[in-house]
Amino acid sequence: MITKQILDKALNGTPLSFEDAKILINPHMAKLDEIIHVANIITRRNFSNKIDMCAIYPAKVGRCFGDCAFCSQSVHHNCNVETIHTNELNENNIIVNAKKLNQSGVSHYSLVTSGEYLTDTEFDKIISIFHKIKTEISIALCASLGTLTLERARKLKDIGVSRYHHNIETSPSYFPKICSTHTYDDKIETINIAREVGLEICCGGIISMGETAIERVEMAFAIKKLNVTCVPINILNPIIGTPLENQKLLTSEEILRTIAVFRLIFQDKPLRFAGGRDKALGQDEYLGYDAGINGMIVGNYLTTSGKPFEDEIHNLKKAGYEI
């Protein structure tokens, strides 16, 4: 009975409370198909049947001095990642890539760099590339460049970047088990700086890193407190050489339940599939859109490959969704 009351409130537009979410995330207290049914109604009501697409471009890869347990780019881990430095970037290749994606329906294009902080030379190179993209293509620009200062945030805003991506990665309580070289509060400081200059905030995290279901709910409410524009959901892709290389992944049912509960928490916010969905979900990925996902990152990620763009579009349309 209590589950029905919670779902009825959600259907009437009332976002879940933390206590409500704790009940729904528990498989012994709430049926998955009932939660997904309500999450689907809310998603279609707020976003119709359209899947928003964005893409990222790796503008710097590897040589990160952070020790995030999930990341293959850390110098603390033995992953043999092929590094990319900003001074090696070919601006024309980036423009061609952005144009092709934009013509195919991608709405947002982001340059992403490894490491907590860029040098002035690296940052200036990124600004130059953003300027070139903005002058040649009508596409919304995003940036994911690690720690920000107020001056750098203003430069991004002034050059035409509209959104800043900065994941909190996991719940505040679980964060120290994932990273020791920077803090959760450091993450929040950068998010607040980006918002202060008028940038939209894209902020999510990674599930299946060994956290409990309650800690996933905690992460959702930490993100909600930040009043972000959209929420990307990554699923751990255990990479050999990282501390999480042997981490057991959540089941499809656990992942879909998490997505559905997130949808009931973030009723009117875009939920975006990001990395790891291929390996963790396989064909069940497309059930994720029923459970509340209404956006996706297409193409390759930073150090792992995604599905071919054409396959993504074909599969989504086959599943009945619009691009």
CATH assignment of the domain containing 113: 3.20.20.70
What span, in angstroms and rounded, lies between the C-alpha atoms of 15 and 200? 21
**Structural domain includes residue 269:** yes
- Three-class SS of residue 191? helix
What span, in angstroms and rounded, lies between the C-alpha atoms of 156 and 255? 35
Q: Based on the structure, what is the number of domains in the chain? A: 1
Q: What is the dihedral of CA 77, 80, 85, 91, to 10 degrees?
A: -130
Residue 96, burial from CB neighbour count under 10 angstroms (0-12, 13-18, 19+): exposed
The alpha-helical segments, DSSP class H, found in the chain are 2-11, 18-24, 32-47, 91-103, 120-136, 150-159, 175-178, 184-196, 213-225, 252-265, 277-281, 287-291, 309-318
Q: What is the pLDDT along the chain (323 residues), one digit of tens a residue?
A: 678 899 999 999 998 999 999 999 999 999 999 999 999 999 999 998 999 999 988 888 867 787 888 888 877 788 777 777 777 788 888 898 899 888 888 899 999 998 888 989 999 999 999 999 999 998 999 999 999 999 999 999 999 999 999 999 999 999 999 999 999 999 999 999 999 999 999 999 999 999 999 999 999 999 999 999 999 999 999 999 999 999 999 999 999 999 999 999 999 999 999 988 888 998 898 899 999 999 998 865 454 455 666 777 777 777 778 77
pLDDT of residue 84: 73
Specify the DSSP class assigned to residue 209: S
303: its two tokens: 């150090």
pLDDT of residue 308: 67
**Structural domain includes residue 92:** yes
**Structural domain includes residue 323:** no
Taking CB atoms within 8 Å and a gap of at least 24, the contacts of 6-9 are 6/30, 7/34, 7/35, 7/38, 7/264
pLDDT of residue 303: 45
**Structural domain includes residue 140:** yes
Q: Give me the amino acid identity at 224.
A: K
Do the Cβ atoms of 233 and 272 come closer than 8 Å? yes
| Phi, psi of 221, rounded to the nearest 5 degrees | -75, -25
Q: Which helix (H) or strand (E) segment is 55 a member of?
A: strand 52-60
**Structural domain includes residue 240:** yes
* Residue span of the structural domain in which 144 resides: 2-318
**Structural domain includes residue 147:** yes
**Structural domain includes residue 50:** yes
Residue in the structure block whose two tokens are 């930040």: 226
Do the Cβ atoms of 284 and 235 come closer than 8 Å? no
Q: Give me the amino acid identity at 284.
A: D
**Structural domain includes residue 11:** yes
- Collect all residues with Cβ–Cβ distance below 8 Å to 206 and sequence separation of at least 6: 70, 167, 169, 170, 234, 235, 236, 276
Strand partners, 214: none
Do the Cβ atoms of 124 and 84 come closer than 8 Å? no
